[in-house]
Structure 1
């Protein structure tokens, strides 16, 4: 009987133990398996692991709040588990008693584990709820703007992800696929609860073979691979809305709008049209107007609009477009443009918000809610949009707008982080460093000595997904997996569940947290709960013992073609959307009523605070794109041999146009300094024609490695440069892709990278 395990990058078959230890290989039938996950057993990864509970020296000696300026700069004292658990339980009780539970921030952002029980986010939130609650976060760095704008316009982002037109339908019916920001298959190597069979590269190839024509609009061209030719239209970063408005103006001017669809399925087009034609503000959004902003010739904009109207057209926007200042606008505008074409709900037509962003989008599988751990009820009402963590810590008591309501930042004294690495996800890390000094105490459950762990006060060593049993399932991935333990826990690492059991016992809430179950009983319980829910949905799966022995449930028999919003199209009255009007809201009275100058009532072009058309471009003439990496998930497995092979001289590559490199005297492989007013980092230059002049790209994921004396980041982490502001008053999402920089070099004798080194460790026995 085959043994399986699963991770974000796919499902794996486990080869029996040999002299060199167990090995994993992709599950049979995966057409495009990801190489990332095959390196989870790389022995080199153990060099960065946390071996024992560790406490920052000043915090241990002088108590909470001691020398917070030394976080990331001083030794840790390794202690036994009982002492570490006693310390943290006492500190949690102190903060609750003195300040209340609203002084605790339950940080858990990142993909953590693909397993549904040993999922750090669920575990930490359940534990904190059993002791009275915590301040939480909403939404995600990836989709902060989309999560808030889309329910006003069409549907929640979560709902849309699960109804995207499937790849087989597009191969049969789509004639023209126009994508703003490409279809980056590197991002689609994974899914949050674990990928099933990787479908994106094969889906693109099938469409190409069927004769679909592809047009890729944006500053880079290597984010779309179809197995054949496609057209690349270079466009300035953050200018997509301007180009879409030029396309929309042409549809109106040429009489190519589907006004019947706009009247029957949409509200507010008349208000938007007054803006588009200039009746409202005196500025017609013509292709010539758009050219001045996006750099695309007016003639090509006009011709493309005609081509779109004359073919079955799918419009797509990458998630990166809404990770920018005014990031709500490109998603709203692409829906508006698709509505004007009138093809929403038709096979192969309409829009997509993120094909290629992860494996799930375009799946033919049913949406089913999988096994889940009940997190309980949070008695604390306060929350923040996830990307506002530095604001929360720096500005307690201040108000911030969010989706029509003014809210207040609580005063945080303790941060408990499990499953994630804020020093990967957050922007303007020099500002984050200042914010991170504010809490009295930071506790982290972590597998490795990441930058976050090095900046904690107490670090509990946690197990990896290969070191425990679990169940993996991501809705619409088509596989339910009995994820078996492959290797024993490293050193003294414990499961998050066991860590919280230890804390719960000390705080008198063990029964509430465990409900009398150990980990094995919980895994059985959440499976049987899932089985009961699926049975009501007409999906039959075996009992737990049979499932655990078999190891895999294939849900392919329940798959079928998917056409986004087809039922809404066929009868909008019988199948209304969940918007206030029940229709597509091209103008939103609700958003208009909020009175936000940075997010008016319809899709609008607003110049971002930093872009190539801004005054700052004279000082910092390059626009930095910080996209997702190809050889790791966020920062996970950056220390693997596979990730390191993608670096140049141990640093992250910086893609730069040859003309920009020559102008600066930079050659391939040179170590260069990328800088702006927020920070500086080193990277390795890679000249390429795949990026337009005036733009550079440095992928995220390099473990943060600042020189403690100069602040120079040595490894190539772009988030020392990115902008830490909200996308708008509506969503307060992440605006990382609004960022101007310059590059200088080559750098002689650059400082060595030390990102993967553990901090100095002192044995508690020596104190």
Structure 2
């Protein structure tokens, strides 16, 4: 058994902490001494260990326990649970998996996870569930993520790989002191940058923005929300209507073209297809020149401001940043494509302080130099099942088995899912149109969930297995962006009968004859030593030293020196476009893509284009729903994690999630600061607490995601959600037939004051249990 050091280290998605211990349990989590801007989220973790809604024992939905798969899914979310012992629960799970894979094939199993349940490399729920399912024959998987699913598809078409999105970001040190103008589409918010998937040693976005300012850069934030950008940037604010950034960028490009400000030499040498795009830009193909006046009508940004910004961009070394949020909207591929085209027209791609980059500030660490090796992770094995869906198409898959859909040039078919197995993540937080998801969620015969608390996912399961939290197990975390490897020491015993995911899967695998394949004969400690040993081998191959495992485990963290060699995005391509050709069909930046054009998608043509969103303030539907909802990431938690915790709870108003609204919009509706309001559209309605703020442009409301789903009548579609979950309002549709990402930010609503007694928030109470305990 691994020893717990006197001052244990806890590594989370929001930072590294040193635990103060008493009687064998953590009583405080203090930020790592080297973190200049620690996140407060960790202060929610200790109280959550013993929260009343902690799942303490395995539980089964009553009718499912009585009738198994013969029970319909109609009772999910409404029926009481029956607590059972572990052997009965594990036997039931194994029997259901065996039934489905033998009767319908492994493609009838959907392996759901969203990967953020732990920063550790071993107790990583997504790796654990996928490894387990692969050892028993595979599963239907999902592709990409909600954060940048559309970008994952479009960026490789334009530059060959996910350059400037996942890899080869221009480092901050080659932006600060080099860029004279930084234009941030979607801003750079410190609240988003307080998290990162692999753990964080140093939160650095505020310092990076200060360095840019001190290096002489002017910063412009283009967003309907002023404080989308951290105050350290001292940024100018340009506030277009939500969802109109492409129109704005087209007008910037039009000004560059007609005023002879674009770099024609760069375009000719490094890009392909500008002639086709240019014809569209000046209106030869559709009769509509994309002038600043044209964009003014769409964006409501004055034409002179647009032209002035274009001239500044051409006159200075300019870096274009774009947040992940812009592609989570109708036609979300277009702003990413257009940002690369606009950077190409400026001709500064590959130069210090010039070019483009995506996701700066969307998570911590983007823009940090990265060493040229990969940290190890738990091997997931090979999945023999070819079926997959874009991650945001879950409800489509469940509602339309056998139906066909387009994705990135392919015509695919939704599999017939009979069993959903979920470990890590909460679709009743991150999916859109939750009323539609409720309807879809009734379709599978069996839903199995690993969870620590009775959140929306657990309440809508048939079999619930209590999972240990990261404070209740040992792990090793690694971050390429933060050049560290860190222990995460166990600082509490699992609550009740909770077990680590690994132990749960090992026990089920044993019942299915796959324990050896799943565990490879290793327990937790052996796996941690194995993963750390691989890390030592890979770092040593690069001339970097890590201590032996026992020393590392005692000290808790090992930091690598900062990577010395780093370049701007596409620097090698700029130096030698023939010798370092891109992995596009042309080897160059594809301003026009013949591949995409050949797909024939009416919602994603062969070059960047303005295609009006289905929902925006210029749509006919705005007459009925005149407010544009921005469902941003929360400041007080990661996704819905620790919504029950002290930090998130302190930010609520009368127990509800706060919704920000401009004072003019509030006055027009008789809404005062702190009033309970009803937000609604044709998809659903929720309650929240109004916060009046001039940080938003009029016509925009902001309700962060992450409030636990809490309908007034559990398991029933279309009823009032009483806690403030914006995904009862957002639309469940793909960004386009190309990317099929989520389009949450294209959402119109109306708001009114809620008079009378508001129903109590009950999502943090345990669900109902049937009398007695089986087993």
Question: TM tier, shorter chain?
Answer: over 0.9
3-state SS, counterpart of residue 175 of structure 2: helix
- 1:722 equivalent to 2:730? Answer yes
- 1:143 equivalent to 2:151? Answer no
3-state SS, counterpart of residue 17 of structure 2: strand
Question: Match for 2:373 among 347, 368, 380?
Answer: 368
Q: Is the 8 A contact 1:44 1:641 kept in 2?
A: no
Separation in structure 1 between the aligned mates of residue 352 and residue 56 of structure 2, nearest angstrom: 54
Distance verdict in 2 for CA 1:606–1:43, change over 3 Å: closer
Question: Match for 2:719 among 697, 700, 711?
Answer: 711
Q: Which residue of the partner structure matches residue 3 of structure 2?
A: none
Q: Which residue of the partner structure matches residue 558 of structure 1?
A: 563
- Deviates most, 432-441 or 314-323: 314-323
Separation in structure 1 between the aligned mates of residue 774 and residue 608 of structure 2, nearest angstrom: 63
3-state SS, counterpart of residue 168 of structure 1: helix
Separation in structure 2 between the aligned mates of residue 42 and residue 263 of structure 1, nearest angstrom: 60
- Deviates most, 469-478 or 656-665: 469-478
3-state SS, counterpart of residue 165 of structure 2: helix
Separation in structure 2 between the aligned mates of residue 159 and residue 505 of structure 1, nearest angstrom: 44
| TM-score of the aligned structures, taking structure 2 as reference length | 0.97
Question: Match for 2:700 among 695, 703, 717?
Answer: 695
3-state SS, counterpart of residue 176 of structure 2: helix
- Deviates most, 531-540 or 695-704: 531-540
CA shift, 1:585, in A, is 0.8
Separation in structure 2 between the aligned mates of residue 546 and residue 343 of structure 1, nearest angstrom: 47
CA shift, 1:367, in A, is 4.8
Q: Is the 8 A contact 1:368 1:476 kept in 2?
A: no
3-state SS, counterpart of residue 497 of structure 1: helix
Distance verdict in 2 for CA 1:158–1:104, change over 3 Å: farther
Separation in structure 1 between the aligned mates of residue 244 and residue 468 of structure 2, nearest angstrom: 44
CA shift, 1:187, in A, is 0.5
- List gaps (5 residues or longer) in structure 2: 1-5
Q: Is the 8 A contact 2:730 2:744 kept in 1?
A: yes
Matches within 5 A, 1:250-289: 250-289=255-294
Separation in structure 2 between the aligned mates of residue 58 and residue 226 of structure 1, nearest angstrom: 54
Question: Match for 1:751 among 727, 734, 759?
Answer: 759
Matches within 5 A, 1:107-506: 107-157=112-162, 160-227=165-232, 229-506=234-511
Question: Match for 1:735 among 714, 737, 743?
Answer: 743
Q: Is the 8 A contact 2:401 2:414 kept in 1?
A: yes
Separation in structure 2 between the aligned mates of residue 423 and residue 765 of structure 1, nearest angstrom: 28
Distance verdict in 2 for CA 1:122–1:588, change over 3 Å: same
Distance verdict in 2 for CA 1:467–1:759, change over 3 Å: same
Q: Is the 8 A contact 1:204 1:226 kept in 2?
A: no
The CA deviation string for residues 518-572 of structure 1, in whole angstroms up to 9 with x for no partner, is 1111111122123223333333323323322332111124355542222221212
Separation in structure 1 between the aligned mates of residue 191 and residue 227 of structure 2, nearest angstrom: 10
Q: Is the 8 A contact 2:373 2:538 kept in 1?
A: no
- Deviates most, 147-156 or 394-403: 147-156
Q: Is the 8 A contact 2:34 2:201 kept in 1?
A: no
3-state SS, counterpart of residue 551 of structure 2: helix
Separation in structure 1 between the aligned mates of residue 50 and residue 612 of structure 2, nearest angstrom: 44
Separation in structure 2 between the aligned mates of residue 226 and residue 312 of structure 1, nearest angstrom: 23
CA shift, 1:300, in A, is 0.4
Q: Is the 8 A contact 2:43 2:646 kept in 1?
A: no
3-state SS, counterpart of residue 445 of structure 1: strand
Separation in structure 2 between the aligned mates of residue 90 and residue 266 of structure 1, nearest angstrom: 57
Q: Is the 8 A contact 2:163 2:569 kept in 1?
A: no
| TM-score of the aligned structures, taking structure 1 as reference length | 0.98
Q: Which residue of the partner structure matches residue 675 of structure 2?
A: 670
Separation in structure 2 between the aligned mates of residue 205 and residue 616 of structure 1, nearest angstrom: 42
Matches within 5 A, 1:48-63: 48-63=53-68
CA shift, 1:371, in A, is 2.2
Question: Match for 1:13 among 10, 18, 25?
Answer: 18
Q: Is the 8 A contact 2:85 2:774 kept in 1?
A: no
- List gaps (5 residues or longer) in structure 1: none
Separation in structure 2 between the aligned mates of residue 224 and residue 96 of structure 1, nearest angstrom: 49
Q: Is the 8 A contact 1:218 1:233 kept in 2?
A: yes
CA shift, 1:19, in A, is 9.3
Q: Is the 8 A contact 1:470 1:483 kept in 2?
A: yes
CA shift, 1:492, in A, is 0.6
Separation in structure 2 between the aligned mates of residue 4 and residue 766 of structure 1, nearest angstrom: 39
The CA deviation string for residues 207-233 of structure 1, in whole angstroms up to 9 with x for no partner, is 123332111112110111243632111
The CA deviation string for residues 701-721 of structure 1, in whole angstroms up to 9 with x for no partner, is 000001117710000000000
Distance verdict in 2 for CA 1:3–1:393, change over 3 Å: same
Question: Match for 2:603 among 598, 607, 619?
Answer: 598
The count of aligned residue pairs is 767
CA shift, 1:687, in A, is 1.1
Separation in structure 2 between the aligned mates of residue 300 and residue 45 of structure 1, nearest angstrom: 55
Q: Is the 8 A contact 1:262 1:339 kept in 2?
A: yes
3-state SS, counterpart of residue 173 of structure 1: coil
Q: Is the 8 A contact 2:171 2:369 kept in 1?
A: yes
Q: Is the 8 A contact 1:16 1:22 kept in 2?
A: yes
Distance verdict in 2 for CA 1:377–1:44, change over 3 Å: closer
Q: CA RMSD in A?
A: 1.6
3-state SS, counterpart of residue 573 of structure 1: coil
3-state SS, counterpart of residue 182 of structure 2: strand
Distance verdict in 2 for CA 1:528–1:158, change over 3 Å: farther
CA shift, 1:323, in A, is 0.2
Q: Is the 8 A contact 2:142 2:388 kept in 1?
A: yes
